[in-house]
Amino acid sequence: MSIAMSCKGLELLHSQSSSTSSTSSTFSTSFTSSASSTSFTSSACTLLSSSEVPFLPSLSSKRRRDEDAEMKIDIEDSKDSDVNDETSCEQMIISKRTRFSRSRSAMDFWAMQPRVTVTTITGGKETGRTNGLLKDALFCNPTALVHVADEGITFVTDPLNENIRCIHHHGGEGRGGCVTTLRDLINPRPHILLFLPKEYQSDDRYLLFASWTAIFSISKDGKHIKQLVGILPLLPGYADGVGDMVAFHNISGMVIDSLGRIVMSDRYNHRIRRMVIEKDTFTVTTIAGNGNGNYVDHENPLLASFLYPRTLCVDDKDNIFVVDSGNHCIRRIDHASGVVTTFAGNGTEACKDGNVQEASFTSPLAIIWEHNTKSLFVSDLYSIRRISILGSVMTIAGVREHGCVNGDGLLTRFNTVTSMAIERVEYYSPDWITCVLDLVHFSRWPPGVSDIVFDYLQNVISLILADTNNSQIRRLLISSSSL
């Protein structure tokens, strides 16, 4: 969402409402960057420090008006010699509003249930391998996906159909989006996907995909495939090294860090491994796990134990978060020291929300990192969970039973979500929202106008999910507008 557009919209609303206000207000604004990284300054505002938690929900219009009425009553009751006119009263409202915004920004956004809506993007109630319009396309147990936001395309592995599919969200047949096949792949059969940032792409290296025992690159048009590491035909094993000297036993997740290194979970070897790309040389080493299927945290990562690790992700500092599915928890590998710790989950098989030490997971399968909110999203078999920066686990969609139901939050049903990707994020920083709060009250906009402004300023996260056993690709939309 364009911030420049937001600025113009605010100025227009202000000009339209100025005729109804008895006192004119002057303000100056300046914007930099985009909605995900915004600074906003105003003569009527006191900005929040950048160290505060970077996610603040917009307030519902009714609750905001009620609070402002209470504020004004309090101010009227406490008037003294320093508060003797309407302007001073308004300034006290601004001050109180700013303090309220500061306290809200220091709270966990997810302490209250946001609005979560689930819809189906494509895939029907039955399995198949039909391409075409989104409403007509069919899949057969899709297992992994990656979303390329710049192109509006989601790539999906459809292993039982032995191919990689493309979902074109904003074009193709009927303009409403369509599904095509990037490449049919009988051997190797694709299970895991990874999109390479532009700086790591080449003519024959656009996506990486993995079978159980090897990793391959594929070109953007799907015509060129190259084996990078591992052994074909299907020969599971364990060996570090270069090229076809490397052996895996069920590659279950891949992620790329800020240095371009590919981090992988080797599920049945109970290890986390890393591939370094140097021109056309691909070297694999083990970075964590001793190979014993167990549950052991350790300062030495090679002495730590995992039990059937699945997908993984990295945060902004290249710390690695691993879905340790067999141990029903999320593990963390520190980037600087390599120390392996339990980040969330108590090791018991259950679905319990709460702080990260007390929460429990049923069978976590997929994980992604969202850097604006500093959040982890985890698919826990039939539900979607969120781990906040403040150390709390919350179920935001689905319950501990399978099904296929769209709708709102906990009323929805899934059947084994094995992969997730971030489609888009519309994010307003606490600085931005606090200043708009102040600006609205300082400028004395009518309630109807302020309602429009606050409905416009909402934080949104959109996730794309591979609902494997429902053979559907679904969208989970999280919005703060319901608060």
pLDDT confidence of residue 280? 85
- Rounded to whole angstroms, the Cα distance separating 426 from 457 reads 9
Full DSSP string of 301-322: GGG-B-SSEEEEEE-TT--EEE
- Rounded to whole angstroms, the Cα distance separating 183 from 221 reads 8
Q: Which residues contact 279 (CB under 8 A, 6 or more apart)?
A: none
pLDDT confidence of residue 186? 83
Using the structure block, give the residue that is written with the tokens 């227009």.
Answer: 12
pLDDT confidence of residue 217? 94
Please provide the distance, in angstroms rounded to a whole number, between the alpha carbons at the two ends of the chain: 20
User: pTM here?
Assistant: 0.76
CB 97 within 8 A of CB 441: yes
Whether the bond between 301 and the residue before it is cis, its omega within 30 degrees of 0, is no
pLDDT confidence of residue 482? 34
Rounded to whole angstroms, the maximal C-alpha distance in the chain is: 87
pLDDT confidence of residue 27? 31
- Rounded to whole angstroms, the Cα distance separating 182 from 146 reads 13
Element (H, E) at 9: helix 3-17
Token pair listed for 350 = 């259950």
In this structure, what DSSP letter does residue 366 have?
E
pLDDT confidence of residue 450? 57
- Rounded to whole angstroms, the Cα distance separating 263 from 300 reads 18
- Rounded to whole angstroms, the Cα distance separating 125 from 472 reads 8
- Phi, psi of 80, deg, nearest 5: -135, -165
- Rounded to whole angstroms, the Cα distance separating 147 from 421 reads 6
Element (H, E) at 461: strand 460-467
pLDDT confidence of residue 431? 66
Whether the bond between 190 and the residue before it is cis, its omega within 30 degrees of 0, is no
Each of the 483 residues of the chain gets a pLDDT tens digit; together they read: 433 334 444 444 444 444 433 333 333 333 333 333 333 333 223 222 333 333 333 333 444 444 444 444 443 444 444 444 444 444 444 444 444 343 343 334 444 457 899 999 999 989 999 999 999 999 999 999 999 998 999 999 999 999 999 999 986 554 579 999 999 998 888 999 999 988 888 888 899 999 999 999 999 999 999 999 998 777 899 999 999 999 999 999 999 999 999 999 999 999 999 999 998 899 999 999 999 999 999 999 999 999 999 999 999 999 999 999 999 999 999 999 999 999 999 999 999 999 999 999 999 999 999 998 889 999 998 999 999 888 999 999 998 889 999 999 999 999 999 999 999 988 776 666 667 666 766 666 665 655 566 566 678 899 999 999 999 999 999 987 433
